[in-house]
Amino acid sequence: MAPNTNLDNSRNAILFERAKALIPGGVNSPVRAFKAVGGTPRFVQRAKGAYFWDADGQRYIDYIGSWGPMILGHGHPAVVAAVQQAVLEGFSYGAPTEREVELAEEIVRRLPSIEMLRLVSSGTEAAMSAIRLARGATGRSKIIKFEGCYHGHADALLVKAGSGLATFGNPTSAGVPPEVVQHTLVLEYNHIAQLEEAFALHGRATACLMIEPIAGNMNFVRASVPFMKRCRELCTQYGVLLIFDEVMTGFRVALGGAQSVYAKSIPGFQPDMTVLGKVIGGGMPLAAFGGSRAVMEQLAPLGPVYQAGTLSGNPVATACGLATLREVAKPGFYEALGERTRNLTNSLTQAATKAGVTFCADSEGGMFGFFLLDRLPQNYATVMTTDSPAFNRFFHAMLDKGVYYAPALYEAGFVSSAHTAADIEATADAAARFFAGG
Ligand SMILES: *Cc1c(COP(=O)(O)O)cnc(C)c1O
């Protein structure tokens, strides 16, 4: 890999100035702005396989993959062909298509907990609609979420814990009235005793518990098996719908999603509802929510819970998603992806250990996290104890060496099937040089 020496950042910098004049912060989604790590965001010109090139022509090994969707790498030939064909047939009709049925069939085949589903255009929309449906189906108002889990930016979810379990959350964003989050209870991830206490107090008034089973929005943190088992038991006992937000983990950590990972340790384990996005669209705006027939039939036009979308099930997006899901369903796909990802985290850990740098890492399928901590964190507060100036130095050193990690210490990373052993080795070499002080 050619290192990006003599970095000429002038075109990125000019574009950032132009963008900032018209778009708040110069970006259309906040984390892209490099606010956490400082510096000038890279404006991407094109991407292919495991790489993208910025406006100054510098190449980067891409460990974001559009924050998860690009599990096959960029520009996979089968996906490109499917999208090109779909574009020729029309962009959007506002009437149903065969491809929506095919995509629904493909998802239901891989996730046995889903009997019916609805397609939407973003993870935010899917999570928001799932909560409305859970409330409509149970006739209850309260919802439980966990600190550090992200479920998109619906008002009721932009909330942090109140003081004590008797009080509900406080908004984390201006513009969200306190009344809108008054039914949202925010708990600590992996804290079983607090979970039990919350159910004893509020279980009978709670519609749903929403969780990222393997959290990817506080870096990479797994829900422990005992914690997940207790979530399932309590939800069943109190008639609360257990909603897995698998927008990030669905078709990313395994063909059957994170729920299939927990089902290996907890016999018969299934969530009641699942929210999907990212990989199921293969890089196009596509997401979904689904669950049992009885719950899903509460949705309009069959039932009383309203939900709709002009571009839902878009024919180009469904072509892209379907082609992607057909590739990942090929035998051995996740075994190979998981091994490559483990090679990355192992070689980074070795490089750090050799240099005496505190470091640990974890992964599942094509999703990983690394930490400048001496052991894997179990919750958001521990993730946030990371030495952030040290992380920022690491991030910028790697960027200068042509490796693009998420520009914030509280984000997970992603490996695609296009990443080669040589890419992993080049990444580990770059890290080793940084750890050794170079
Ligand atoms: C990305 C993400 C969302 C939001 O999806 P958008 O498509 O960005 O609206 C929701 N939940 C999880 C777990 C995510 O990772």
DSSP structure string for 170-229: EESSTT--GGGGTTEEEE-TT-HHHHHHHHHHHGGGEEEEEE-SEESSSSSEEPPHHHHH
DSSP structure string for 284-316: BS-EEEEE-HHHHTTBTTTSSB----TTTT-HH
Is 70 exceeded by the pLDDT of residue 5? no
To the query of whether residue 56 is one of the catalytic residues in this protein, the response is no
Q: What is the pLDDT of residues 262-308, one digit of tens each?
A: 999 999 999 999 999 999 999 999 999 999 999 999 999 999 999 99
Split at pLDDT 50, 70, 90, the class of 118 is very high
Q: How far apart are CA 365 and CA 246, in angstroms?
A: 14
**Secondary element (H or E) of residue 103:** helix 98-110
User: How far is ligand 1, taken at its centre, from the CA of residue 276, in Å?
Assistant: 8
| Ligand 1 contact via 338 beta carbon (within 6 Å) | no
Is 60 exceeded by the pLDDT of residue 414? yes
Work out which ligand 1 atom sits closest to the CA atom of 124.
9
Token digits for 328?
A: 């990942």
Q: What is the pLDDT of residues 332-364, one digit of tens each?
A: 999 999 999 999 999 999 999 999 999 999 999
Q: What is the pLDDT of residues 45-85, one digit of tens each?
A: 999 999 999 999 999 999 999 999 999 999 999 999 999 99
Q: Which among 149, 119, 154 has a CA at the least distance from the CA of 277?
A: 119
Q: How many CA atoms are closer than 13 Å to the CA of 372, on its beta-carbon side? A: 19
The rounded mean pLDDT for the chain is 96
| Ligand 1 contact via 150 beta carbon (within 6 Å) | yes
What was the pLDDT predicted at 73? 98
Is 70 exceeded by the pLDDT of residue 239? yes
206 near 240, Cβ under 8 Å? yes
φ and ψ at residue 115, rounded to 5 degrees:
-95, -35
φ and ψ at residue 275, rounded to 5 degrees:
-110, 130
To the query of whether residue 150 is one of the catalytic residues in this protein, the response is yes
| Residue tagged active-site, from 51, 60, 63, 150 | 150
| Ligand 1 contact via 122 beta carbon (within 6 Å) | yes
**Secondary element (H or E) of residue 326:** helix 315-328
Whether the model clears a pTM of 0.75, i.e. scores above it, the answer is: yes
Helix (H, G, I), strand (E, B) or coil at 7: coil
Q: How far apart are CA 119 and CA 314, in angstroms?
A: 9
Mutate to test the pocket of ligand 1, among 151, 210, 259, 367 (most ligand atoms within 8 A of CB): 151
Q: Which residue's CA lies nearest to atom 11 of ligand 1?
A: 151
Q: How far apart are CA 203 and CA 55, in angstroms?
A: 52
Q: How far apart are CA 260 and CA 216, in angstroms?
A: 17
| Ligand 1 contact via 130 beta carbon (within 6 Å) | no
Q: Which residue's CA lies nearest to atom 6 of ligand 1?
A: 123
Alpha helices in 372-420, H assignment, sequence order: 380-383, 388-400
Q: Which among 17, 34, 28 has a CA at the least distance from the CA of 396?
A: 34
| Residue tagged active-site, from 54, 56, 62, 245 | 245
| Domain over 7-63+332-435 is classified CATH 3.30.70.560 | no
User: How far is ligand 1, taken at its centre, from the CA of residue 96, in Å?
Assistant: 25
What was the pLDDT predicted at 7? 58
CATH top-level class for 77-328? alpha beta
Question: For 394-412, what is the mean pLDDT?
Answer: 96
Burial of 155 (0-12, 13-18, 19+ CB in 10 A): middle
Split at pLDDT 50, 70, 90, the class of 164 is confident
Q: How far apart are CA 210 and CA 241, in angstroms?
A: 8
Is 70 exceeded by the pLDDT of residue 114? yes
* DSSP-derived secondary structure letter, 64: S
Split at pLDDT 50, 70, 90, the class of 186 is very high
To the query of whether residue 245 is one of the catalytic residues in this protein, the response is yes
Q: How far apart are CA 37 and CA 136, in angstroms?
A: 42
Omega prior to 301 cis, within 30 of 0:
yes
| Ligand 1 contact via 411 beta carbon (within 6 Å) | no
User: How far is ligand 1, taken at its centre, from the CA of residue 179, in Å?
Assistant: 24
Per-domain residue ranges for the chain? 7-63+332-435, 77-328
Q: Which residue's CA lies nearest to atom 10 of ligand 1?
A: 151
Q: How far apart are CA 405 and CA 323, in angstroms?
A: 26
Q: Which residue's CA lies nearest to atom 5 of ligand 1?
A: 123
Is 80 exceeded by the pLDDT of residue 1? no
C-alpha distances in Å from residue 381, one per residue of 262, 293, 367, 386: 24, 38, 21, 10
| Ligand 1 contact via 124 beta carbon (within 6 Å) | yes
* Other residues' Cβ atoms within 10 Å of the Cβ of residue 196: 14
Strands 287-291 and 116-120: antiparallel
User: How far is ligand 1, taken at its centre, from the CA of residue 247, in Å?
Assistant: 6
Q: How far apart are CA 354 and CA 172, in angstroms?
A: 41
Q: Which among 163, 159, 161, 165 has a CA at the least distance from the CA of 178?
A: 159
Work out which ligand 1 atom sits closest to the CA atom of 278.
7
User: How far is ligand 1, taken at its centre, from the CA of residue 343, in Å?
Assistant: 27
DSSP structure string for 144-180: EEETT----S-GGGSEE--SSTTS--EESSTT--GGG
* End-to-end C-alpha distance for the chain, whole angstroms: 17
Strand-pair partners of 369: 362
Q: Which among 422, 410, 339 has a CA at the least distance from the CA of 67?
A: 410
